[in-house]
Structure 1
Amino acid sequence: MLTEVAGVEVRSQTALGSSHAWTLHRGELADGQGFFAKIAPGHSEALDVEATGLHWLGEVPNGVPVPEVLATGAGTLVLEWIPEARPSADAAEELGRRLARTHLAGAESFGAPWPGWLATLPLDNTAGDHWPTWFAEHRLRPYLRRARDAGSLHAQDVATVEKVLGRIEHLAGPAEPPARIHGDLWAGNILWSRSGAVVIDPAAHGGHRESDLAMLHLFGAPHLDRLVHAYTEIAPLAEGWRDRIALHQLHPLLAHVCLFGTSYRAQLLQACTGLGAR
C-alpha cells in the first residue's frame, strides 16, 4: 500500500485486483487528487518505460490525450484518476484526429531509445530504418521463437508464419517514415471520459502508423468507422491499408499466444491464411 505520492499523503486506497504481474489500486491524496496505481516490485523497468511512453506521446500538441504521471519508480506507477463516461461518436472522431497528429509527429527511427515492454513481454526496440525488415526481426520473430519454445505453436504453425515473413516486402505496402505510435492501442487501452478519450498502457515507439489502426480493429472499438474517417481527414492512409490489417495484427496475436497460450493460435493462423500463407 502507498503512504504518499510525490510527497503528498495518501488519504485512501482501494485494491482493484491485478493484471499481468502488477496489482492495481485506486486512491485519493490528501489534496483531493484521485489516482490510479500499478505496483509491481519485480517489474520496475516495465512501469518506468510505460511512464516514458506516456510522456513521449503527451509531448505532441493536440495529440492523443494521456493521463498525467504523478509518480514512478521502485516498481510503482501512479497516474491521475480518469473518471469514465460512455463513448460517443464525437469523442471517437476527436480521438481519430488527435491520433493522426501524434503519428505525424514522427520518431527518429523505427524502435526507440528505451527498452520496450508489452505487458510483461520484452520488446526489442533496436533502431531500424526499413520497416518490413524491422517488423519481421524485432517484432514477429522474437515472439514466434518464444511461442515455439513454450510449446504454444507447433512446427507447422511456425512454418506458416514464416511463409508470411518470406513475403513481407510484398505485403508491407508503400514505404512510410517512422510514426510516433502507441504500440498497444486496443479498445481496453482507451478510457472514455466526459471530456473525451484518453489513452493508457502504451508500448510507445517509432513504428508504422497502420499498426495502431490494426490494433483498434483487432478486438473492435466504439465508433471505429467514425474514428478512422476523422483520422484520414488529417492523415490520409495509403491505398490498400485495410488489406494490410492482418499483417500488422500478427504482432499482437503472437504476443497473446506468448501471454495466454494456445487460445489465440487459431486466430493467428487465420490471419496468416488471409495473407496468403497456407
Structure 2
Amino acid sequence: MRWRTEITWRDEVEQVFGSPIAGVRTLPGGDLAAIARVELEDGTQLVSKRGPLVGTEARMLEAMRLAGAQVARVEHLGGRLLCLAWEDADEPDADGWASLGAALKTIHASTNSTYGWIEDYAFGEVQIDNGPRETWPDFWSEARLLPQVPHMPGPLRPRVETLCKALPDRLPAHPAASLLHGDLWGGNVLFTARGAVMIDPACYYGHAEVDLAMLALFGTPEPAFADAYGPAEPDAETRRPIYQLWPAMVHHRLYGERYAEMVDRLLGEAGV
C-alpha cells in the first residue's frame, strides 16, 4: 500500500516554476489570504497568496487588465494558491500619480448593465454581497451599508439606517456602472518604473466616485492624479462621506473600536 503525500504550497511553487525556494518572507496584510514574498534559487521573485478566494482575486485582476489598467501579473493560479510577479516599487511622484489617474479613468470607462459582480467576495470575516440591485441607492444601502449595522456600536446604528432611507435622494439612481477597483487606497497601488500598478482588488460595477472617495479616505492624491483623471462630477463632495462610510465600517469590524470615531465623523459629514 502506498501512502499519498500531501503537496504543500512550497512543493507546488517549486514544481510550477522549476526552481527550489531560496527564501520566504511574510508580508503585511492577509485579510483574505496568507501573503509572502518568495525568492527562488534561479532569481525569480514572486508574491504568493494562499486562501479560499484567490481565484476570485485572479479573475478581478484579469478584468482590470482587460479594461486597460496595469495590475499585478498573475504567474500561477492553482486551487488555493495564487502567485503574482514581484514588483519593485518607489515612493509616488507626480508622474506616478498621473499614471494612476489615467489608469483609473480607463477602468471606469469599462461599464456593465448592472451594479455588482458575478461573485461575492470578503474582507476576512466581512462578507461582501455583490448581487445585482435595480438602482444604485439600493445597492449601496442593501449590499454595503446595512449589512454592517448589526456590528456597529449602538448609537451609530440608527444613524446609518436613517442615512440609508435617504439615499434615493442623496445618490444618483442610475449612474454608469463602472468597473471599480473596490478597495483603492494607497497601500493597494505600487508606483513602479512602468507606472502605477494596482493590486488587491475587490472589484464590482458601481458609481466611479466610490474609488475616488476611498482613495481620499486615508490620504490625499497629488494634483497630478486629478489632472489625469479629469474633473469630478457635480456635487461629488456631498457624496464622498457616504461612499467613505462603508470602508470605515469595514475597518471598524476588522480592526476594532478605534475606527468608531471615523464612522461617527463621516455620518456627521453626511448630515445624520
Q: Tell me how far apart the structure 2 counterparts of residues 255 and 64 of structure 1 sit (CA, whole Å).
A: 26
- Tell me which residue corresponds to 2:156: 157
Structure 2 letter corresponding to 1:163:
T
Q: Tell me how far apart the structure 2 counterparts of residues 109 and 33 of structure 1 sit (CA, whole Å).
A: 41
**SS of structure 1 residue aligned to 2:242:** helix
Segments of 5+ residues of structure 2 without an aligned counterpart are 1-8
1:188 CA displacement: 0.7
Instruction: Note the alpha carbon deviations across 1:169-219, whole angstroms, 9 max, x for none.
Output: 122147412000000001110111122111111000111110000000000
Query: Are the equivalent residues in 2 in contact too, given 1:125–1:205 (CA < 8 A)?
Result: yes
Query: Are the equivalent residues in 2 in contact too, given 1:96–1:227 (CA < 8 A)?
Result: yes
Q: Tell me how far apart the structure 2 counterparts of residues 183 and 102 of structure 1 sit (CA, whole Å).
A: 12
Q: What does 1:124-203 correspond to in 2, within 5 Å?
A: 124-145=129-150, 147-148=151-152, 153-154=153-154, 156-173=155-172, 175-203=174-202
Q: Tell me how far apart the structure 2 counterparts of residues 169 and 21 of structure 1 sit (CA, whole Å).
A: 32
Q: What is the TM-score with the length of structure 1 in the denominator? A: 0.87
Query: Are the equivalent residues in 1 in contact too, given 2:136–2:172 (CA < 8 A)?
Result: no
Which piece of structure 1 moves more, 84-93 or 16-25? Answer: 16-25
Structure 1 letter corresponding to 2:135:
H
Q: Tell me how far apart the structure 2 counterparts of residues 133 and 106 of structure 1 sit (CA, whole Å).
A: 18
Over aligned residues, Cα RMSD in angstroms? 1.9
Q: Tell me how far apart the structure 2 counterparts of residues 215 and 54 of structure 1 sit (CA, whole Å).
A: 19
Q: What percentage of residue pairs aligned between the two structures are identical?
A: 29
- Tell me which residue corresponds to 1:27: 38
Structure 1 letter corresponding to 2:144:
R
Instruction: Note the alpha carbon deviations across 1:249-272, whole angstroms, 9 max, x for none.
Output: 111011111111211111111111
Structure 2 letter corresponding to 1:128:
R
Query: Are the equivalent residues in 2 in contact too, given 1:174–1:238 (CA < 8 A)?
Result: no
Q: CA 1:76/1:39 → structure 2, altered by over 3 Å: closer, same or farther? A: same
Q: Tell me how far apart the structure 2 counterparts of residues 162 and 96 of structure 1 sit (CA, whole Å).
A: 34
1:72 CA displacement: 2.3
Which piece of structure 1 moves more, 165-174 or 23-32? Answer: 23-32
- Tell me which residue corresponds to 1:51: 58
Q: Tell me how far apart the structure 2 counterparts of residues 67 and 17 of structure 1 sit (CA, whole Å).
A: 15
- Tell me which residue corresponds to 2:207: 208
Q: Tell me how far apart the structure 1 counterparts of residues 24 and 73 of structure 2 sit (CA, whole Å).
A: 20
Q: Tell me how far apart the structure 2 counterparts of residues 273 and 32 of structure 1 sit (CA, whole Å).
A: 52
- Tell me which residue corresponds to 2:115: 110
* 1:226 aligns to 2:221 (yes or no): no
Q: What is the TM-score with the length of structure 2 in the denominator? A: 0.89
Give the total of aligned pairs: 261
**SS of structure 2 residue aligned to 1:218:** coil
Query: Are the equivalent residues in 1 in contact too, given 2:121–2:127 (CA < 8 A)?
Result: yes
Instruction: Note the alpha carbon deviations across 1:1-45, whole angstroms, 9 max, x for none.
Output: 5234372134423122453363321123465432111223xxx1x
Which piece of structure 1 moves more, 71-80 or 99-108? Answer: 71-80
Query: Are the equivalent residues in 2 in contact too, given 1:187–1:221 (CA < 8 A)?
Result: no
Q: CA 1:159/1:252 → structure 2, altered by over 3 Å: closer, same or farther? A: same
- Tell me which residue corresponds to 2:11: 3
